[in-house]
Amino acid sequence: MKHKIILIIIINLLCLNIIAQVYKTQPTNSEIHTIQVKANDNWLKYPVIELNSSDYITINFDRLGDNASDRLRYKLIHCNADWRPSSLSDIEYLNGFNDNLIEDYALSMRTTVEYTNFQFQLPNDDVRLLQSGNYAVQVYEEDDYSNVLLTACFSVVDTQVKINATVSSITDIDANKEHQQVSFDISKQSIRLNDPFSELKIYVRQNDRLDNERKLLKPTYIQADKLIYEHNRELVFEAGNEYRRFESLSYRYNGLNIEKTTFINPFYYTFLYPDKVRSGKTYSYDEDKNGRFLIRNGESGEPDTEADYFVTTFTLPMEYPLIEPVYLNGNFSYNTFSDKYLMKYDDMEKQYKTSLLLKQGAYNYQYLTKLGNKFSTQKVEGNNYETENEYSIMIYFRPQGQRHDSLVGFLTVKK
């Protein structure tokens, strides 16, 4: 009887772990770096493709070290709107096998840091996608399926609604100050919507940041064939500031915002110019890419395998440390806020500092402070209503009797 009780407890704990599993793009092994998920090889777009079209997703990443003989495989997991696994079986959302070898890989060349670059496209000759919605791709060792090295996420949309959206600095909190507000309406085109309050889930995200994503269930009001979402406090976002930028294209010369690069065996070390606190300062426009990064090498046209890895140091001088922890943020951090991206304050040097091993390229970044479970631009970057941001709107639909969330609408709107 005692053994049965223990078994039941273990099963319940495993079930709770499965329920709590939320997927997002991130490495789960320290050897994995520079995960890129692109739609149609366009680094400036969100990884969303149209169902039953010629669109494709490219997944690219590096595994550091001498792992040329290692064979990696991948599988796809269909997810609901919250990025938890749906109840669909493989054959319901895939045409083909859900355990495929990554055949496209190459060793790094003429780099101080050895790595193997892997990439593959979806859909491909081995597997095709049958359902819209969210997909998580897990990559693992061929001889150890339990050793998941990374997760890469993308979405597939089957457009059935039309979205019209605007972004304004005149918000329900302030006017032309520190916030921006998203308003939009949804036109029901080919979709048969019986109960918008239970059948639709809507997610809105600023600059692809997961930490400030908003979930909406109810429209402000319904008008004829339209659902209107406006004057909703959940759609008010901190305006933030333009992302900071740097370019580490070469060890021979200093790129944008690079103070110096030097070789200290076995790595190249790149030091960015010290950053300044921008909160309370006058807004200044800069042509950023809203947190994205692009791998580049000034001496080569093959950055996937010939771009090197530099130990990159960020510094933020400040006379006294803030009460809240300060984190480095950008797409290169995969919207994770682990100790790896936590800025450490040095009492002697009077500055925050951290170093990361980053592949050569052009990067956007910013500093966020954490208060409770929320992250803010207020203390370091400041909030300026003029800031140019991108907002993505994703419409999920689950009619009565359906066992998963379908993605039926997607739109990116800029301020």
More reliable by pLDDT, 68 or 134 = 134
Residues of the chain with CATH 2.60.40.10: 22-157, 161-239+389-414
The answer, yes or no, to whether residue 189 has pLDDT greater than 70, is yes
Mean pLDDT computed over 236-241: 98
Q: According to the 3-state scheme, what is the secondary structure of the chain?
A: CHHHHHHHHHHHHHHHHHHHCCCCCEECCCCEEEEEEEECCECCCCCEEECCCCCCEEEEEEEECCCCCCCEEEEEEEECCCCCECCCCHHHHEEECCCEECCCEEECCCCCCCEEEEEEEECCCCEEECCCEEEEEEEEECCEEEEEEEEEEEEEECCCEEEEEEEECECCCCECCCEEEEEEEEEECCCCCCCHHHHEEEEEEECCCCCCCEEECCCCEEECCEEEECCCHHHEEECCCCCEEEECCCCCCCCCCEEEEEEECCEEEEEECCCCCCCCCCCCCCCCCCCCEEECCCCCCCHHHHCCEEEEEEEEECCCCCCCCEEEECHHHCCCCCHHHECEEECCCCEEEEEEEEECEEEEEEEEEEECCEEECCCCCCCCCCCCCEEEEEEEECCCCCCCCEEEEEEEEEC
Identify the band that residue 245 occupies on the pLDDT scale cut at 50, 70 and 90: very high
Q: Minimum mean pLDDT among 190-194, 279-283, 395-399, 407-411: which range?
A: 190-194
Domain 22-157 has CATH 2.40.50.100: no
Domain 244-376: CATH architecture, name and number where available = Sandwich (2.60)
What is residue 16's predicted lDDT score, i.e. its pLDDT? 45
- 35-43 mean pLDDT: 98
* Reported pTM: 0.93
Mean pLDDT (whole number) for 376-386: 98
Domain 161-239+389-414 CATH assignment equals 3.60.15.10: no
Query: Does residue 403 surpass a pLDDT of 70?
Result: yes
Stretch among 19-23, 121-125, 342-346 having the lowest mean pLDDT: 19-23
pLDDT classification of 31: cutoffs 50, 70, 90: very high
